[in-house]
Every structure is written in C-alpha cells, then in structure tokens.
Amino acid sequence: MAGLRFRGSPLRLPASYGPAGTGEGDWVAVEARLAEARNYWIVTVRADGGPHAAPVWGVWLDGAVWFSTDPDSVKGRNLDERPEAVVHLESGDEVVIVEGLVGPAPGSRFEAFRAEYRRKYDFEHPDVGAPGAAVFVVTPRRILTWNERKFPASGVAWTPGEGWGRGAEVPAARLSVAL
C-alpha cells in the first residue's frame, strides 16, 4: 500500500565484498517493483530442514506480499509448520528480497486482494473457502534491495517504519485454517 514507510540502512556484508553504501534508496521504486512483479519466488523450509522454492502469482497489498496456494502443497505444509518465508522477485540484476512472517490473509481484506489479483492477472481468484485456495500474507521483517552493477554500494536493508505491519495476522494456531 502506498504510503507505508520502511527505513533504509546499509547492508551488513563481509569486508571482502567492498565498501558498503549509505543505506539510502528509493522506497517508492522498491514498492513499485513489488507491486508490478508478475511472479514471486516463495522459499520455505521443509520439515527435514531442506529448502523449497516455488514461483507463485501474488500481489503487493497493505505493505505485504499476498499469494495463494493449496494448504496441502509443499509450501502450504511447510508454512503450517514454520510460518516464515523469503520472497524473491525474478530479477538478479535489480534485486528485491522480502524476509517475513507468514499468516492467513485477514478475511476483511480478501475482496481487495481479489480485485488487485484480477486487475494484475486478468484472472478471477476463487472465493473464500474454495478447495486449494488458501490465501497467505508475507509481512516483511526486512526487505533487501540492490542493483547488481553497483553492488555492494547500492545495497539497502529496509525495515518497518511508521504505519507498517497491517498485513498478516500470524496466529499461534495452525495456518491451514486460513480465511
């Protein structure tokens, strides 16, 4: 959601990477890239500790990445056990990586999600409760960005600021009860 604020700071990297930048960046441009992305790579952790990555369609809404998956899919089962994920946009040149907590989408915002999904993909997302259509929200703890040609000086770690954090409500109970 436009207007939510994240604070930028320099990426903390090994000295061998070169001089760090100032941590200054263009949050409006980062948010636009998150909103305009077609595919989002969702990375979760399996029960045995192994990683799992899969591309999904999703939207940037209320300062968070929203996506749907079947609760019985690998990522759905992984999130049920460990409600954390990394989301990476497709580009390795203009990098945007979201690290955050994952929870079920709040029902009060489901229609806003559907409207944005429809606008973006020209596809009607199934109704609440449809089989295999659980909607999840990745609420960022931090967002890492950089331009590969200007790395590491272009690296910024964005953290929550005022008005942030209105995405997922991560419950203590299992996530499979989404919506």
Q: Please indicate, yes or no, if residue 1 is contained in any of the structural domains.
A: no
The number of distinct structural domains making up the chain is 1
pLDDT confidence of residue 168: 42
Q: Please indicate, yes or no, if residue 98 is contained in any of the structural domains.
A: yes
Domain holding 38: CATH number? Answer: 2.30.110.10
pLDDT confidence of residue 177: 30
Q: Please indicate, yes or no, if residue 140 is contained in any of the structural domains.
A: yes
Q: What is the pLDDT of residues 51-82, one digit of tens each?
A: 999 999 999 999 999 999 999 999 999 999 99
pLDDT confidence of residue 165: 52
Neighbour-count burial for 103-134, b at 16+ CB within 10 Å, e otherwise: bbbbeebbebbbebbeebeeeebeeeeeeebb
Q: Please indicate, yes or no, if residue 117 is contained in any of the structural domains.
A: yes
Q: Please indicate, yes or no, if residue 170 is contained in any of the structural domains.
A: no
Q: Which residues of the chain have pLDDT under 50?
A: 1-2, 166-179
Q: Please indicate, yes or no, if residue 176 is contained in any of the structural domains.
A: no
Domain residues for the domain of 53 are 6-13+28-163
Q: Please indicate, yes or no, if residue 32 is contained in any of the structural domains.
A: yes
pLDDT confidence of residue 6: 87
